[in-house]
Amino acid sequence: MANLVQELNSLDFSVYIGGPLQAAVKAQHDASISQVNFIKEVGFVPSEDEDEPVALKYVDFNYKKSVPNPDAEKTLEQLKAEGKVNESATEIPEEYSNPFTDAEVNLKVPFLTMLTIPALRIDEMTIDFNAKLNSVETQNVSSEFSGSASISAKFWKVKFNASASYKKTSSSTSTTERTYTLGVHVRAVNDELPAGLARVMDMLEDSISAVNN
């Protein structure tokens, strides 16, 4: 009969349980390094000189915007005094009388504020390890008996002959079936940005500037 307890004790649980845990820790580490590399490669302009700091990468948007006309409420005399209208003009030009005017706007936006920063985090990990051992012992016993006898008589003499044989055979087999199953369930989520990085992103959003031309 196999010793199933000893069989279970011989299993290296540090491999079955610790292996997936170490893989999860390494995956979390790689995700953090990937976040740093993403910010460096996507959000900054590389510098050829190692001593010079890298520059933040911006995206420029140029568009037309309707803005209030600062000269709309001025009189003809005020416009002449400011040199915007000729002295010989008798009425205010249309470009100064309209309440709104078109302006060219240049918007500079940090590139990082337009992207989703990868922040993958392993939220939950479940390891299911099952060991199933079945021990089956079979014993076969067989016996065989054979015998013979003979008798003869001649006058008063009697002759008796007898023989017998007995044979017993036994055999036993023991079989142990081993079944191991390992299931690893990992749940990863895109976590919130760290407090320090979130503060930097807020500062970058405040740096968005629009210039009217």
Give me the residue spans of the domains in the chain. Answer: 4-56+120-191
Higher-confidence residue: 169 or 116?
116
Residue 186 contacts residue 24 (beta carbons within 8 Å): yes
What is the pTM assigned to this prediction?
0.53
Mean pLDDT for the stretch of residues 54-82: 81
Considering the chain, what percentage of its residues have pLDDT values greater than 90?
A: 0
Q: Which of 10-14, 29-33, 67-71, 188-192 has the largest mean confidence?
A: 29-33
Considering the chain, what percentage of its residues have pLDDT values greater than 70?
A: 73
Number of helices (H) and strands (E), helices first, in the chain? Answer: 6, 7
pLDDT digits (tens, 9 = 90+) for 3-33: 666 767 777 778 878 888 888 889 889 988 9
Mean pLDDT for the stretch of residues 111-124: 85
Higher-confidence residue: 144 or 62?
62
Mean pLDDT for the stretch of residues 105-125: 85
Residue 188 contacts residue 120 (beta carbons within 8 Å): yes
Distance CA 153, CA 159 (A): 6
In sequence order, which ranges of the chain are alpha helices (DSSP H)?
4-9, 13-16, 18-43, 76-81, 94-97, 195-206
pLDDT digits (tens, 9 = 90+) for 118-154: 888 888 888 888 877 776 666 665 656 555 555 555 5
Which band of pLDDT confidence, cut at 50, 70 and 90, is reported for residue 1? very low
